[in-house]
Amino acid sequence: MMSDLTAQQIIDHQRYPIADLNSPLRADLISNIQADLAKDGCAVIKNFLSEQGLQDMLNEALARKDQAYYSAKKHCNVYLGDGDDSLPADHPRNVFLPRTNGFITADLLTEDTAARILYHWQPLAAFLADCLGKPELFIYEDPVSNMIVNLGKPGQQFNWHYDTNEFTITMLLKPALSGGHFEYVPNLRTPQDECYDEVRKVLSGDRSRITRLELNAGDLQFFLGRFSLHQVTENTGDDDRLLLIMSFTEKPGVIGSLYRVKDLYGKVTDAHYENERQRVRADELLD
């Protein structure tokens, strides 16, 4: 299956003319997003995808959903790492939560897909960079996980975690009929501090800092997921939830760690082994 749309046709470019650098609509959009991101690290562009763009992306994902990978690791801490016996049992590193969602990996979303066409469209990265006040953004070079579809079948969930990348955008292709809510805790940690006490509170059921987002199919969500703990709650409907995730980086050539990619997506490439030898990473946080 292939899309015959151009990148510009995949989105609602009339309403959101992101490729038109002189458009006042583009400038307005950017300042609205900047205000929302400054508030809590999250912003949404309603109906960003065109009707046909959404349909193509959904069909692409549905055609590949039987190839989705489910991690063998069914319980994870929020860092996707190992526990630590020297720490108390309720320390966040020792709290393992069920994680049952699957991923349609980037290698399956071939060159002719609408998802890939949009991801590689330079005006998108330029627009995102402007929204974030960064000089430039690059696509995440990880060949397995740079652009993936999160598949939540009925009964599945994607429990509390942080993202490896500082910056991710998602596009909801199909919401759950019930449940499957995106929830987040804005800026729960910093590059210098894991803030374990605050993480522990969330994991023990304190909902006071949690925000739940209302998303519809075709919406684009900006999210600073490296510092904001987040989850997708259990899909309690009787049909799948599908979410396209695109990651970008400030430096070119960044890819995921060998072990994390293998754990999450079930496959790695030579690039991951090479990366293990020469790590290009932005910070020293645990995951």
Q: Where does this chain bind Fe ion (CB under 5 A)?
A: 163, 225
In sequence order, the 6+-apart residues with CB closer than 8 A to the CB of 197 are none
16 versus 103: smaller Cβ distance to Fe ion: 103
Task: Give ∠ CA 203-209-211 in degrees, rounded to 5.
Answer: 100
Nearest CB to Fe ion, comparing residues 5 and 61: 61
Whichever of 126 and 195 has its CB closer to Fe ion, that residue is 195
Q: Which residue is nearest to Fe ion (CB)?
A: 163
Q: Please, what is the minimum distance in Å from the beta carbon of residue 218 to Fe ion? A: 20
3-state SS assignment for residue 42: strand
Provide the b/e sequence for 13-48 (b: ≥16 CB within 10 Å): beebbbbeeeeeebeebbeebbebbeeebbbbbebb
Shortest Cβ distance from residue 150 to Fe ion (Å)?
A: 8
Q: Record the tokens describing residue 175, joined without a space.
A: 């919401």
Q: Which of 142, 57, 138 is nearest to 107 (CA)?
A: 142
Q: Which C-beta is closer to Fe ion: that of 159 or that of 275?
A: 159
**Smallest gap, in angstroms, from Cβ of residue 230 to Fe ion?**
6
Q: Do 122 and 235 form a contact (C-beta atoms < 8 A)?
A: no
Which of residues 179 and 225 has its CB atom nearest to Fe ion in the complex? 225
CB of 245 to Fe ion, least distance (A): 7
Closest separation in Å from C-beta 128 to Fe ion: 17
Backbone angles phi, psi at 149, to 5 degrees: -115, 125
In the complex, the smallest distance separating the C-beta of residue 163 from Fe ion, rounded to whole angstroms, is: 4
Comparing CB distances to Fe ion, the nearer of 239 and 287 is 287
Q: How far is the CB of 111 from Fe ion (least distance, A)?
A: 25
- Cα–Cα distance list, 177 to 29, 65, 195, 212 (Å): 30, 18, 35, 16
Identify which of residues 5 and 148 has a Cβ nearer to Fe ion in the complex: 148
Q: Where does the chain have alpha helices with state H?
A: 7-10, 24-40, 51-64, 114-119, 122-132, 196-203, 258-265, 270-277
**Dist. CA 268–CA 246, nearest whole Å:** 18
